[in-house]
Amino acid sequence: MVSAEPQEAGALAGQARAVLVGVDLGPGASFDPTLDELGLLAESAGDCVVAKVLAKRRSPDPALFVGSGKADEIKLLVQAHGAHGVIFDQALSPAQQRNLERHLGVPVSDRTALILEIFAARAQSHEGKLQVELARLQYIATRLVRRWTHLERQQGGIGTRGGPGEAQIELDRRMIGDRIKQVKLRLEKVKRQRGTQRRARERSGTYRVSLVGYTNAGKSTLFNALVKARTYAANQLFATLDTTTRSLYLGEAGRSVSLSDTVGFIRDLPHKLVEAFRATLQEAADADLLLHVIDASSPLLHEQQVEVERVLEEIGAETIPQILVYNKLDAIEPGQRPRVLRDELDLGAGRRVPRVFVSALAGEGLDVLRQLIAEHAGPIPDPADTGTVQVLPDGSPAGTARPPADYH
């Protein structure tokens, strides 16, 4: 199946034109028949989608992933639309990527490479940049042979021993390996610093709340609405990569809690990327309460919720208490709106999770969410029970937290 995209005519000058390819590999395999999410990823990377191609196979073709017939079809599309590249929704092996580029005559990338490109462009903090660099280095290390095949061909093709391509691959492999070690050591230092900060928060009795959720679910908009801040929020995938933490005053409990906004999750998030961002994701694993933000207007709401739960399990955060926050209530059709803003969702196996419907954009339901957070946080612990004394900025011991000047 092939479809042309209407935005082709509006492509900006200098904007790369891309053809998207998705392959249905049958039951159990990840497949998006609309390629909408891959399209959003491409747009987030600055590309203009000019066509989409869907294919169905029992298993990937070892050489071209899609087989020669479908590859010829994609090549015709590339030529017809003047595309600058092709992006696959599934992960390609280095050999498949190399063969496809030769066959199609344009650069070919996959979902993993696209996500890494976006992460590299969005990372702002020192820690975030280190984590992206580690993930990219690990990805590049598996594709070194692709970069030097042209040298092998110049020296007599396959079978040439000890040629410049082979020597250069070994040199690159050592250089990348050394750099990976350096980055890991620096990230280990960051991890220790985070551990020190975490222990300090624990000693102070600070109640920690973290926002988690699928990318573009509206976490940063909700974060801004709750703490009255202006962190970066946009209608695009991975608008936030670096963890931001602010104090959230809860008048209902007469106390403040720390609220952290974290990187969004996504389907088929590469394991290496999860590993690289483990220091950032640790903010969620160390929380006392998770606000699992879900786009209530998404037709893939259930699949996205399951994917977030999978990543939470991978980082050891699956047992932390959760509040399901169904966001974007303003985008739901009137006839589909819930009758109440707060209820409980039965997840089976005797597990019931509180759920609240909100619109971070319009402010609807935020008071209900605050109340629910306050109920989980409870009153400020008695210093006599914790063995610690909380001190306010003016030097006086903390009995009840004081509201910020702009609290209403």
217 is in an annotated binding site: yes
What CATH topology corresponds to 206-386? Answer: Rossmann fold (3.40.50)
Q: Which residue has the tokens 């992206």?
A: 132
Mean of the per-residue pLDDT values for the chain?
A: 82
121 is in an annotated binding site: no
Is 238 annotated among the ligand-binding residues? yes
pLDDT band, residue 400 (cuts 50/70/90): very low
Please indicate if the annotation marks 295 as binding a ligand: no
Of the candidate ranges 32-36, 166-170, 254-258, 380-384, the one whose mean pLDDT is the lowest = 380-384
The annotation status of 95 as a binding-site residue, yes or no, is no
The verdict on whether residue 240 carries a ligand-binding annotation is yes
361 has binding-site annotation = yes
Q: Is 343 annotated as a binding residue?
A: no
Q: Is 105 a known ligand-binding residue?
A: no
Residue 285 in tokens = 């694993």
CATH topology of 2-111 equal to that of 206-386? yes
191 assigned to a ligand binding site? no
**What does the pLDDT look like over 362-383, one tens digit per residue?**
999 999 999 999 999 988 766 5
Q: Is the pLDDT of residue 138 over 60?
A: yes
3-class secondary-structure state, position 233: coil
Contact 111, 91 (CB under 8 A): yes
Is 329 a known ligand-binding residue?
A: yes
64 annotated ligand binder: no
* Residues 91/97/99/101 CA torsion (nearest 10 deg): 130
| pLDDT for 406 | 54
360 is in an annotated binding site: yes
CATH class entry, domain 2-111: alpha beta
DSSP 8-state class, residue 178: H
The pLDDT tens digits for 204-227 are 778 999 999 998 899 989 999 999
The structural domains of the chain, with segments of one domain joined by +, span: 2-111, 123-184, 206-386
- pLDDT of 95 reads 92
On whether 218 is known to bind a ligand per the annotation, the reply is yes
Residue carrying structure tokens 């462009």: 121
Does 36 show up as a binding residue in the annotation? no
Amino acid at 328: K
Reported confidence tier of residue 149, pLDDT bands at 50, 70, 90: very low
Any known ligand binding at 184? no
- What is the pLDDT at residue 383? 57
pTM for the whole structure: 0.78
More confident residue, 280 or 160: 280
CB atoms within 10 A of CB 362: 12
pLDDT at residue 41 greater than cutoff 70: yes
Query: What DSSP string runs through 48-102?
Result: EEEEEEEEE-SS-BTTTBS-HHHHHHHHHHHHHHT-SEEEESSPPPHHHHHHHHH
